[in-house]
Structure 1
Amino acid sequence: MTSTVSAEISPGAGDPGAGRSRGLLAPRHGTTSLRVGAASIWLSVIVLLPLAAIVWQSAGGGWSDFWTSVTRPGAVESFKVTLSISFVVAVINLVFGLLVAWVLVRDDFPGKRVVDALIDLPFALPTIVASLVMLSLYGPSSPVGIHIQHTKWGVGIALLFVTLPFVVRSVQPVLKELDRETEEAAASLGANNWTIFVKVVLPALLPSLLSGAGLAFSRAIGEYGSVVLIGGAVPGESEVSSQYIRTLIEVDDRTGAAAISIVLLVISFVVLFILRTLGARAAKRQEFER
């Protein structure tokens, strides 16, 4: 009797290969160290070394040259244009990216799979082609009668095009896994659709929304190809920092170009870090409330 009970409550007691299976699945210190080492080396080669190289180049002339490079009127104007447009683009995509993700997950309509596939088109399309498309649609020969070339509007439209998938693809899988029973329970207690969305759905989506918006903002401040034709690089109007960097390289000011790049990298990293920290706290709060 005792042996029978022991066999029932012991995992794999009646299976001769169970111990070997558990041994294969269990983490091993040596294997884990090997994986961590390989990942660290790959990350260093692909990410850290290039970043270290550009930091070294930007510091070639010392702190005074670095500060002079990033505070020139042209650099400051490019920062203003880049950050202001990128912020607006991230906010717009935050709203409409959530709307598109909601429609793709919660609604059924003809051509849904085609629309879902089109979301990834900006990822696959070369950015210079996107700029050419925008120029054809909103340039001097616009078939819709809208001419916004060499304006902030043109830059904004181009950045909206290339950054929309970040929010949609960040929110979509979370929305699919969202527990519908909680929404139904709230509805049975008399909550309307807006209350359910604000009190139940939005808190659960907040981490993914912030992550998607951060990625969209970071992509926007470093974008070049999609704005090169429609933007026109008009100083103080449509010249973004990536185009200003190109100008510095053309005049052989590589130290100045590296300095501008470092500023963009720092801004991108800080924004992503803050938004992901806020998202992690929101996720913990949501888990605690459950």
Structure 2
Amino acid sequence: MLDGDVTVREAELQYGPFGRATVKPYSRTQWAADGSSLLKVYTGVDPEGRRHREVETVRRAAHWGLSVPEVLATGKCDAGSWSVFRTLPGVPCDVRTDRAIKEYIGHVLDLAYRLHRSSPGLAPGPGWTDDRGSHALQHHFLLAQLSPRCRHRPWWAALADALHPLESQPVVYLHGDLKPEHLLIDEHQLSVVDWEASARGPAVVDHTDAAFHLVRDLLYAGVKPGRVPIALITRLPFSGPVLAWRLLLWLDRRRPQDIDLIVTRDILRLAAEDHASAGYASLVRAISALRAAGVPR
């Protein structure tokens, strides 16, 4: 790994050149010509914090025996906060059939078994750095990820109350952004990438993340609402309040006007839901309506 105060140019000379790019709402990724490494530039929300979190987390995850990308170089310059990672073999999990979705959910549950470790005094918060002695609350940590404008919405107080029971759940280490494209399969090896949203909190946050991304991505891929395999998704632990929070987080981080498209009664109904099948059915209806309204994926 390159040490010290290096630039993107110096990293490219050793690990590049970097060519084709994939642009996401909060990052830009370019692959080396030989495919052995990739350059990730963090943009948008807290780029420097996300860079540090990802670098620190993948190092600890590797120590735990998880298959994660090796950090080759990292830094900050005029171009922004960035890291270079060694690429891993494998292809993203396939979710185009019910059988593939069942296998994907199995991978999520297996990963959660290995990942969701807790220890006395572990406090909720971003990253995996132990914040021992902190008195942070789980529901406060989740709400803090929503922008300040959300505090003035009519659903805010009710959502905060619905999330409060999370305090009874243990704090564990979270990936923070589980989705099929972040789980790579190479024969029998499962590798996990994109750790910039790593955190400490209740395990159901990771499970909800996986369920939310699966439902959203199937619908945006053109799957009809009635074809979303809710019965398979209910294998994942369910929390109505966390699912409502995750839906709002998605809208809050898209276009400024998108948060106004969600109906308050739908958020309150979802947050009060106790049954997984009904909760995921409500999510399907909500995302279908939002997609029809032009909300970007």
Asked which structure has the greater RCO (Cα within 8 Å, sep 6+), the reply is 1
TM-score (norm 2): 0.25
More helix by share: 1
More strand by share: 2
* Structure index of larger Rg: 1
TM-score (norm 1): 0.25
